[in-house]
Amino acid sequence: MTKQITYSPAYTLVPTYECFNHCTYCNFRVNPHQDQWLTLEKSKNILQQLPHKSVCEILILSGEVHPQSTRRKAWFQNIYDLCKLALSMGFLPHTNAGILSFSEMATLKTVNVSMGLMLEQITPQLLKTVHRHSPSKLPSLRLQQLEWAGQLKIPFTTGILIGIGEKEKDSWKTLEAIAEIQTRWHNIQEVIIQPHQLGSKQKLAVSTFPIHQLPKMVAKAREILPKSITIQIPPNLITDSQCLLDCLEAGARDLGGISPKDEVNPDYPHFSHQGLVDLLSSRGWQLVPRFPFYPKYQSWLSLSLQKAVTSWEHIPNFTPHCQFN
């Protein structure tokens, strides 16, 4: 039987690159007030130009405006409006906008089929180094987001970032924390194992994560995490093709949202679709598309969101109801 690897055909909209955090490894952010926010008009023009029915997910990926800022309400409203616009044009939104309040998460649930936030690492030691100037990277705040997503029944994606100064045992503890939340709420659909790769904008002058160790990390993650969670790896950050294939053998089963540009890691372009197909088929893997949410969570969606999903269910060559593990 052909083995399946899934991915989400995606396009990324960035409401703003500005962020009040200043993580030293970041290649995404600009300083507050130094970015022109994405407008609905410009977003509509972008979405209208996407190839018909070849992009399913619209990833709303934003830098964070401070919770106490007078601009926070306008920032959040813009994100909400972008999600509504994407839905109205036949796409399925997935938002990752950093730390949100409970009410903000509840509001976005009505216009998103899934949401996400990287847990990164829960060790407090990073608050003295790479997260020294990043208030929303407090581990307790990020764990709370996963809990709230569970309480709100939001299909959720999270992940760990490796190679930013953590110890190996820190990664295991972070994965164990995710596993504990999953046993309570069952809302975490996938966990990304993301290696840090150097970029041209970052301030952190350290070596990248030793990529040859990634299959070991994937295998250990598969041991720690419940089987109900799919392990995702970002193919553009795995610079050795053999390593990518080894990660699949170790237990990874998803390649995430593949968009024309990785906004978080702009120095690392994605494979072409055909390039991925060819690489995977060389080892007996079949690349298949999926929704931004996993099928088992469809009942968690509102009726209006479920209606938006049905328009995709009979698209030729789109088979979202595949097995993930």
pLDDT tens digit sequence for 27-58: 999 999 999 999 999 999 999 999 877 899 99
The dihedral sign for the CA sequence 103, 135, 233, 86: positive
Q: What is the DSSP string of 117-163?
A: ---B---GGGGGTTTTT-GGG-HHHHHHHHHHHHHTT--EEEEEEES
Between CA 207 and CA 196 the distance in angstroms is 9
For the question of whether the overall pTM of this predicted structure is more than 0.85, the answer is yes
Q: What is the pLDDT of residue 321?
A: 40
Q: What is the pLDDT of residue 36?
A: 96
Between CA 13 and CA 80 the distance in angstroms is 12
Beta bridge partners of 285: 3
Which structure tokens are listed for 252? Answer: 């990874």
Mean pLDDT by 10 residues, the chain (325 residues): 89 98 95 97 96 89 97 98 97 98 98 98 96 97 98 98 95 98 98 94 73 97 98 96 97 95 94 92 94 96 94 65 35
Please state, in angstroms and as integers, the Cα–Cα distance from residue 81 to each residue in 10, 60, 76, 157, 216, following that order.
19, 11, 9, 22, 42
Which structure tokens are listed for 7? Answer: 């991915």
Between CA 89 and CA 73 the distance in angstroms is 24
**Domains of the chain: which residue ranges?**
3-310
pLDDT tens digit sequence for 258-303: 999 999 999 999 988 899 999 999 999 999 999 999 999 999 999 9
Strands 254-258 and 92-96: unpaired
What kind of architecture, by CATH, is found in domain 3-310?
A: Alpha-Beta Barrel (3.20)
Between CA 313 and CA 256 the distance in angstroms is 19
281, 319 Cβ separation under 8 angstroms: no
